[in-house]
Structure 1
Amino acid sequence: MWPGGTVRDVAGLWDVALPAEAVRVPGVSMAGFRSRTDRFVDMQVVPYPALTLFVDFGDGRVVDDAGSRWMDSGVVGLAPGGARGRGRSIDCLQVRISPLVAHAVFGAGAEFSGAMVSLEELWGREAVRTRERMWEAGSWQERFAVAREMLLRGQSEGPAVDPEVAHAWRQMVRQQGRVRVAGLAEETGWSRKRLWSRFRSQVGLTPKRAAQLVRFDHAAHRLAAGEQSASVAATSGYVDQSHLHREVRAFTGVTPNAVAQAQWLDVDDVAWGRGRAGARRLRVG
């Protein structure tokens, strides 16, 4: 399944395939993961400022925070809480989709925020056909191409976000979450109330919560890169270390030290170009 793609071995435990330039989509990142061990992996999904589409062709599953619902293909919304990825023989396509793109592709809105939704719930029979095409693909690049076709079709058929909403989101990302909502409203020419309402309906979070998520993401990757929490808090826009601690716990349910060791972030620098100077060995068991 690996011919034709860029493949990297992460500490002998994960192979990571990356898409060729020809199959990439603006606002979207894709990667393929295959475990190189038969030991059971159980890792918390760390919130990220994008929706994550996943399709597993092995025995990998994403389980909700209550442990009552699991799926091998679906979409994890923004700020997913305690969702976990589990499996012994994982062979998974992951697609990270900017909320600006997701609004058209999924019709994502407030009701989708933080949710874990199966592809069948979103697309019905079309999801089944897409999965079948991915199963039949002869390489990761073919799988990426199927995903690209699906995303581009959704973008062309779905509603675009308001330019004002897109501007507010891009400013949040550009400034790593350290923005004032009132200032964003002034830049767009909208009232704070209107921006709040339209942003939430199209992105799935309020502007304040979205900015917190973007800030948390940068802080989490700096923690994972080995920086001390006091330093991260001081340079990431938090009032103090306690403020960072509270926000990390609000998004993940764990401490900054636990986030720094999160298995979910171990391959970020390889798959998504984020986080670590070098991927650590994943802890499995």
Structure 2
Amino acid sequence: MQIHKDPGGTWEWASALPDARLSPGVIRYRGYRLALGLPRQRLEVPADAVTLVINFDGELRLTDVRDPGTATTHRFLTCGLRTSATLGEHDGSLYGVEVVLTPWAAFTLLGVAMQECSETVVDASELLGRRVDELAESLASRSRWEERFELLDITLTRWAAGGPACPPRIVWAWDQLARTSGRTRIQDVAEGSGWGRRQFEYRFRRHIGVPAKSAARIMRLQRALRLLSEGRAPVEAATASGFFDQAHLTREVTTMTGRPPTRLLAARRRAAPGPGARDRLDGRITSVLVPR
């Protein structure tokens, strides 16, 4: 487990891997306590994971960058796979935990068809009912992050035992896409699953949340952003990530995040280390602090 604190006491982050029995479906736990004194905005970039957020104190206001006129406020939320970015805002005070999951594990733990919480943000109370309220109360009553993460291990192990199983062929298909960062041909994955194309697409969307083509699109975006952030030339990053050319890469990044890659990465470089500057997945660019 890792804990990072501001000496001035304005923020604290904790991160831990789950119990081995929950791996690889449950990817990471993240805890946070913010007392910044000023509102904060963060652009949530499409990523190949599902996030369950449980706030003990404070709420998040979320807006789809494609539709600025619609915003929702949540204490508990579930964010499935998305092909567009979300702008998250809070008043500077926030205290809670995030559970980062593979989509197929989220299907089992949440017990719902994943298209119900993909391409949107859903209040976790609507999906989990009293389960999330009881978990939030129990987590908030613990005084140390280690105790909270241990409670998550116990609770999620119980949920997994009582939840619907994801077909192994869907887990295999997800792994094929993830292994190549979305560059594997969908037709090859569908044929390898042993199902017909229509059956494969139906099952993939039910258990993962989006069509296989959309999942691959998200993975290619993440690979391209990582390569660009490492200093790779745009043409090289585009080719290595499965885009036709640099123009195609620029269009996709702009469409999916609301910002061209140069502007997105410039904003990321300007963000000082500290609260909100940490990505929820290693090797991914999952969020960018943006000025109000």
Q: Which bin holds the TM-score, normalised by the shorter protein?
A: 0.7 to 0.9
Shift of 1:94: 1.4
Counterparts of 1:28-177 in structure 2 under 5 Å?
28=26, 29-35=28-34, 37-65=36-64, 66-79=69-82, 81-87=84-90, 88-106=92-110, 107-177=112-182
Picking from 239, 253, 258, the partner of 2:258 is 253
Shift of 1:249: 2.4
Q: What is the alpha-carbon distance in structure 1 between the residues aligned to residue 277 and residue 227 of structure 2?
A: 12
Shift of 1:111: 2.8
Q: What is the alpha-carbon distance in structure 1 between the residues aligned to residue 156 and residue 74 of structure 2?
A: 21
TM-score, with structure 2 as normaliser = 0.83
Picking from 196, 199, 206, the partner of 1:201 is 206
Tell whether 2:178 aligns with 1:182. Answer: no
SS in structure 1 at match of 2:88: strand
Q: What is the alpha-carbon distance in structure 2 between the residues aligned to residue 9 and residue 272 of structure 1?
A: 19
CA contact (8 A) 2:42 2:290 kept: no
Counterpart position of 1:15: 12
Relative to structure 1, the CA distance from residue 149 to residue 135 in structure 2 (aligned partners, 3 Å threshold; closer, same or farther) is same
* Greater mean alpha carbon deviation, residues 19-28 or residues 180-189: 19-28
Q: What is the alpha-carbon distance in structure 1 between the residues aligned to residue 6 and residue 281 of structure 2?
A: 13
**AA of the residue aligned to 2:12:** D
SS in structure 2 at match of 1:69: strand
Q: What is the alpha-carbon distance in structure 2 between the residues aligned to residue 11 and residue 138 of structure 1?
A: 19
* Greater mean alpha carbon deviation, residues 19-28 or residues 146-155: 19-28
CA contact (8 A) 2:107 2:166 kept: yes
TM-score, with structure 1 as normaliser = 0.85
Shift of 1:210: 0.9
Counterparts of 1:194-233 in structure 2 under 5 Å?
194-233=199-238
CA contact (8 A) 1:40 1:284 kept: no
Unmatched tracts of structure 1, length 5 or more: none
Shift of 1:38: 2.3
Q: What is the alpha-carbon distance in structure 2 between the residues aligned to residue 81 and residue 252 of structure 1?
A: 6
CA contact (8 A) 2:43 2:289 kept: no
CA contact (8 A) 2:49 2:81 kept: yes
Unmatched tracts of structure 2, length 5 or more: none
Shift of 1:89: 1.9
* Greater mean alpha carbon deviation, residues 258-267 or residues 158-167: 258-267
Q: What is the alpha-carbon distance in structure 2 between the residues aligned to residue 10 and residue 239 of structure 1?
A: 44
Counterpart position of 2:278: 267
* Greater mean alpha carbon deviation, residues 10-19 or residues 222-231: 10-19
* Greater mean alpha carbon deviation, residues 5-14 or residues 146-155: 5-14
* Greater mean alpha carbon deviation, residues 256-265 or residues 209-218: 256-265
**AA of the residue aligned to 2:76:** S
Shift of 1:19: 2.1
**AA of the residue aligned to 2:81:** L
Relative to structure 1, the CA distance from residue 275 to residue 169 in structure 2 (aligned partners, 3 Å threshold; closer, same or farther) is closer
Picking from 17, 20, 25, the partner of 2:22 is 25
Q: Deviations over 1:8-31 (max 9, x none)?
A: 248987532122665883122111
